[in-house]
Chain A
Amino acid sequence: MPLASSSIADQNAKMQSVMGNHACALAAVAAGCRFFAGYPITPSSEVAERMSAELPKVDGVFIQMEDEIASIGAILGASMGGAKVMTATSGPGFSLKQENLGYASIAEIPCVIVNVMRGGPSTGMPTRPSQADIMQARWGSHGDHPIIVLTPASVDEIYTETVRAFNLSELLRVPVVLLWDEVIGHLIETIEVRGSADLRIVERNRAQSPPEQYKPFAETENGVPDMARPGDGYRTHTTGLTHGEDGFPTQDPATVDRMMSRLLGKLERNREQVESFELLECDDPDILIVAYGITSRAARRAVKLARERGIKVGMFRPITLWPFPEQSFKRVAAGASSILVPEMNAGQLCLEVERLCPSGCSVSRLNRIDGQAIDPDEILNRIAEMANHD
């Protein structure tokens, strides 16, 4: 009997068996990405490889550049030209991209940057997972720069968050970093491969006003200027220097303060669109787990088993990691007596949690820095210890 056309191995089927990194590529194309420039680096190379196969089918352009910096440069050039763009890398390449990430921030150029986290620092463990770049994702570039960082925890979520990454980037004219670990990147799960017609796709607001009136970096209702496309008659100037509404460089204190305030205020002003998290059993937690990525999946199991034992534990899972959902987190954590932050790093998100946790609530860390994913039992045992102490 012939295989049904809905076989998960069929690349045209709605439900497909897909690797995390490949799901990103498929979602990017569905979201309208038509330009990808990248450089190979384990464990992200599959994103580039799949893009190189998919983009030609939709008249897009794929180019492997000479290094990571050229890659982000090329995508920013293409984005300034009007295209939706993406690049993908891992730790060492992510470090190289930081300067130009800052350029994207201050020049307000939409772009999506994937970082599939591996063991670090430096060459580290190319084929092993970590979650050790999350602070770098927020602070890696110099200066006060707005940036959005998303942390999917499944292949399906890679798909939906990649689409969301493009939408947020286009809507807010801010670079969006997609952050997952090597495990999620290489995991193969069956997902629904939604086409463009089934997705909400957001395009950047293009400049429409008469060129004489248009100001490329003007204050608007949501703080995001309309973006001019070269060729449409606007002839704008884009620079990484601090600039006024007209785009030209200035160091006038009042102008710089106004521009930087608008830039830094974009994400807060649009918080409802940006913020995203999942709550698991959070109605009445004594113990609150804060976890993301592959660790959140181990934590999910630990929460289930702990609840079966009668321990009141819940999980707060940030999906938008940065900006961190401070108010929402404080609300959820309000009743907890202790918080556990399991992470595959030496303690990064816990710093944020420690800063925000309600007084009287203690924060514990559960860290692995050996290139291994955290086991559900590790988390469960710690939960049990914490429950005994309460």
Chain B
Amino acid sequence: MTEASMHTFDVRDYLRLELMPHFMCPGCGHGIALRALLWAIYELNIDKDRLAIVSGIGCSGRVGAYIDANTMHVTHGRPLAYATGLKLARPDLEVIVITGDGDCLAIGGNHLIHACRRNLDFTCLMLNNEIYGMTGGQVSPTTTETRFTTTTPLGNHEPGFDACKLAAAAGAGLVGREITLQVPTLKDLIKEGISYSGFAFLEVISDCTEIYGRKNQLGESPEMMLGQKASTRSDVYKNTVDQPFRPNAFETGVLARNERPEYADAYRQHIARTVAKTR
């Protein structure tokens, strides 16, 4: 399907063209993630009117505004909570959260745990660029050790962590990771996440070239993307149970599935069984 749709998909059909040019830096991986998301939406034939994008604060959060859909740019760390309320009130909407490594794992960490635990049917796309880019380049929970950031001028001494392992352990129905280098594969993973009836947590390894890359001399966008490729391993995920996560050796694809009831379905069935409705 990819080969055919590659030629018929026009990303402009899904963008608010009046907002162009966008704010993203040259080489920013988020633009690629955005395109992959919209391509997935195109292939799934999702009606734009039914599409709700809830995004947090950061470069990842700003991406949502470019999508021609019902877009909600909320507070830092909270898009999963807003999306929970939105989806419960409006089960008819296709709800997708776009968040970042800081938004989702630092300030928003608690909401991630419970979104996974509940398994409500919506999709979380976490754009992980290992940095707080919007605020000028501070360290993030996923920043590789030894890297320089504006709040680790002597080099980061903290380990990162594997959000996918956290999501799987907390019960997310589907957990996956992909790099922005592999656009069709990323698109397919996003499709699978959206189609899955339950909470899908998808980590997108995205490059921040202008701030993180430059400060750490990681090269231009092509070099950083090839760095992503060099870092992917197929067996590392299973073998690193007791080791701190090293983002330069990670696995991609669908990493975990938890076959569990979808939250809203289970809630409604439970209510129907146990409550005599009064009019």
Mark A residues whose CB is within 8 Å of B. Answer: 34-35, 37, 56-59, 61, 63, 65-67, 69-71, 73-83, 85, 99-100, 103, 230-241, 248-249
Once A63-B84, A231-B49 are accepted as A-B contacts, the answer to whether A77 and B73 lie under 8 Å apart by CB is: no
Q: Within 8 Å CB of B162, what residues of A?
A: none
- B19 at the A interface (CB under 8 A): yes
Q: Within 8 Å CB of A59, what residues of B?
A: 277
CA–CA, A50 to B88, complex, Å?
Answer: 19
Contact stretch, chosen from B4-12, B106-114, B243-251: B106-114
* CB within 8 Å of A: which B60-94 residues: 65, 68-75, 78, 81-90, 92-93
Q: Within 8 Å CB of B275, what residues of A?
A: 56-57
CB distance from A240 to the nearest CB of B (A): 6
A-B residue pair count with CB separations less than 8 angstroms: 135
Once A69-B78, A70-B78, A73-B82 are accepted as A-B contacts, the answer to whether A78 and B89 lie under 8 Å apart by CB is: yes
CB distance from B169 to the nearest CB of A (A): 16
CB distance from B184 to the nearest CB of A (A): 27
The answer to whether A232 and B89 touch across the interface, beta carbons within 8 angstroms, is no
The answer to whether B82 and A74 touch across the interface, beta carbons within 8 angstroms, is yes
The answer to whether B85 and A74 touch across the interface, beta carbons within 8 angstroms, is yes
CA–CA, A66 to B85, complex, Å?
Answer: 13
Q: Within 8 Å CB of A232, what residues of B?
A: 49
Once A70-B110, A70-B114 are accepted as A-B contacts, the answer to whether A61 and B88 lie under 8 Å apart by CB is: yes
CB within 8 A of B88: which of A35, A58, A235? Answer: A35
CB distance from A159 to the nearest CB of B (A): 19
CA–CA, A82 to B114, complex, Å?
Answer: 24
Chain B residue nearest in CB terms to A12: B278
CA–CA, A65 to B271, complex, Å?
Answer: 18
CA–CA, A81 to B87, complex, Å?
Answer: 8
The answer to whether A83 and B73 touch across the interface, beta carbons within 8 angstroms, is no
Q: Within 8 Å CB of A63, what residues of B?
A: 84-85, 88
CA–CA, A236 to B52, complex, Å?
Answer: 10
The contact sample of 17 A-B pairs, CB cut-off 8 A, is: A35-B85, A37-B84, A56-B274, A58-B277, A61-B267, A63-B85, A70-B81, A74-B81, A77-B83, A77-B84, A78-B89, A80-B86, A83-B90, A230-B86, A231-B92, A233-B49, A237-B73
- B54 at the A interface (CB under 8 A): yes
- B229 at the A interface (CB under 8 A): no
CB within 8 A of B85: which of A56, A81, A238? Answer: A81
Chain A residue nearest in CB terms to B66: A237
The answer to whether A69 and B88 touch across the interface, beta carbons within 8 angstroms, is no
- B50 at the A interface (CB under 8 A): yes
The answer to whether A240 and B84 touch across the interface, beta carbons within 8 angstroms, is no
CB distance from A50 to the nearest CB of B (A): 15
CB distance from B174 to the nearest CB of A (A): 21
Q: Within 8 Å CB of B114, what residues of A?
A: 65-66, 70
CA–CA, A232 to B81, complex, Å?
Answer: 23
Once A230-B52, A239-B65 are accepted as A-B contacts, the answer to whether A81 and B71 lie under 8 Å apart by CB is: no
CA–CA, A63 to B270, complex, Å?
Answer: 14
CA–CA, A63 to B19, complex, Å?
Answer: 37
The answer to whether B75 and A99 touch across the interface, beta carbons within 8 angstroms, is yes
- B260 at the A interface (CB under 8 A): no
Chain B residue nearest in CB terms to A37: B85
- B48 at the A interface (CB under 8 A): yes
CA–CA, A78 to B83, complex, Å?
Answer: 8
A-B pairs, top 3 by smallest CB distance, nearest first, are A73-B81, A77-B85, A74-B85
The answer to whether A81 and B90 touch across the interface, beta carbons within 8 angstroms, is yes
CB distance from A294 to the nearest CB of B (A): 32
Q: Within 8 Å CB of B73, what residues of A?
A: 237-241, 249
Chain B residue nearest in CB terms to A234: B70
CB distance from B78 to the nearest CB of A (A): 4
CA–CA, A192 to B72, complex, Å?
Answer: 40
CA–CA, A117 to B50, complex, Å?
Answer: 40
The answer to whether A82 and B19 touch across the interface, beta carbons within 8 angstroms, is no
